[in-house]
Amino acid sequence: MKKETIAVHGSHLKDETAGAIAAPVFLTTTFERALDGTYPKGHMYSRNSNPNRTALEKGLAALEGASRGFAFGSGLAAVNAVFQCLQSGDHILMPEVGYYASYKLAEEILGPWGLEVTQVDMTDLAAVEKAVQKNTKLIWAETPANPMLSITDIKGLSEIAKKHGLKLGVDNTLGTPVLQNPISLGADIVMHATTKYIGGHSDIMGGAVLLKEDDEWAKRIERVQILMGATPNPLDCYLLARGLKTLPLRMREHSANALELAKRLEKHPKVELVHYPGLESHPQHALAKKQMPQGFSGMIALQVKTGETETREMAGKLQIFQQATSLGGVESLVEHRKSIEGPQSTTPGNLLRFSIGLEHVDDLWADLNQALNSI
């Protein structure tokens, strides 16, 4: 079946009580035990499993072409579950450009427990292969990657991973399961911050791990999910499963809006550079087209022909775009990355990152245009 159909039906939860078409929400912590000590409906306690979580995990796995899916209370909890499959003394390769907190988790929290991590330029396959050590167990990639929307060759990485007997994990938050499927490109593990596009309305924190094989790593992640306890609540799982149903439709529109705005921005005299994988001027456009044939998602980074102070002022002049971190919601957001990342940041001061929402493209353009013309 096609993505749209899987999105609507993949997380279906049949209501045995009333025949409701929409899934009931199982706001329960615990489930009834039979006299013989078994759990006839398959659930015992909601940290172990809950029908809404199971339905969400099933739907996500179906969309990613995965054997197993595990949902968590945040994207970072999902990243942590993958890293917990490693032992003290193991080594991970992580991208130089990627979600900052994922790296901090490996370095600051798991480092003292003996996990080794090296950052490498993942867009350079030769550099990745050179960075593989004897104790390397996992390559962790992210594509497209913030804030410059750089693209990493998943298939190329998977060949390196196979050659050296490593697992390849991909943070597919920006790609989403409808625009990009890392497993079909050779990845073993896919992670999502469901907080972003899958929730899609800026009202849920969540994460997920999807695995190609139901193997030792799946068993371990299941144990981490249960024993570390960073599980999502049933209502959030219900809302995320609902989000999945409109995800293909939303991603089409996020992508179309972003592509159109990127094209218009590129022609604006006040613009220095537009970073968007859908533009032919993007250095990795050909690779992006191969990995994301349906669209390039809704994130744009823009460098304006002015200094840092004026760039920040420009963000303040926007009327529709709200200044906030995060991405993937129906409402458009703008963020000055350098000032968020702090003094060690290598992000240019004249860069603004946009999460393009589902407003009409002409209204978004008018807003960007007036702000650009004001500087």
Ligand X SMILES: *Cc1c(COP(=O)(O)O)cnc(C)c1O
d(CA 43, CA 55): 13
d(CA 55, CA 238): 8
| Closest CB to ligand X among residues 46, 173 | 173
| Closest CB to ligand X among residues 129, 142 | 142
Q: Are 273 and 147 in contact (CB under 8 A)?
A: no
Shortest distance in whole angstroms from residue 235 CB to ligand X = 16
Contacting residues toward ligand X, per CB under 6 A:
74-76, 99, 102, 142, 171, 173-174, 193, 195-196, 205, 207
Going by C-alpha positions, the residue among 227, 199, 184, 261 that lies closest to residue 77 is: 227
d(CA 66, CA 58): 9
| Closest CB to ligand X among residues 7, 174 | 174
Q: Is 284 helix (H, G, I), strand (E, B) or coil?
A: coil
| Closest CB to ligand X among residues 26, 99 | 99
Shortest distance in whole angstroms from residue 120 CB to ligand X = 17
Shortest distance in whole angstroms from residue 128 CB to ligand X = 19
Contacts of 69 (CB under 8 A, 6+ apart): 56, 57, 58, 59, 60, 61, 208, 209, 210, 211
| Closest CB to ligand X among residues 107, 159 | 107
Shortest distance in whole angstroms from residue 194 CB to ligand X = 7
d(CA 88, CA 115): 5
Shortest distance in whole angstroms from residue 343 CB to ligand X = 22
Q: Are 259 and 278 in contact (CB under 8 A)?
A: yes
Shortest distance in whole angstroms from residue 29 CB to ligand X = 23
| Closest CB to ligand X among residues 43, 338 | 338
d(CA 142, CA 171): 5
Shortest distance in whole angstroms from residue 209 CB to ligand X = 12
Shortest distance in whole angstroms from residue 247 CB to ligand X = 16
Going by C-alpha positions, the residue among 175, 143, 158, 172 that lies closest to residue 294 is: 175
Q: Are 55 and 84 in contact (CB under 8 A)?
A: no
| Closest CB to ligand X among residues 108, 214 | 108
115: tokens are 């996990």
| Closest CB to ligand X among residues 269, 342 | 342
Residue 210 φ/ψ, nearest 5 degrees: -120, 135
Report which residue's Cβ sits closest to ligand X: 75
d(CA 301, CA 335): 9
d(CA 276, CA 284): 10
Shortest distance in whole angstroms from residue 282 CB to ligand X = 18
| Closest CB to ligand X among residues 169, 207 | 207
Contacts of 205 (CB under 8 A, 6+ apart): 73, 74, 75, 195, 236
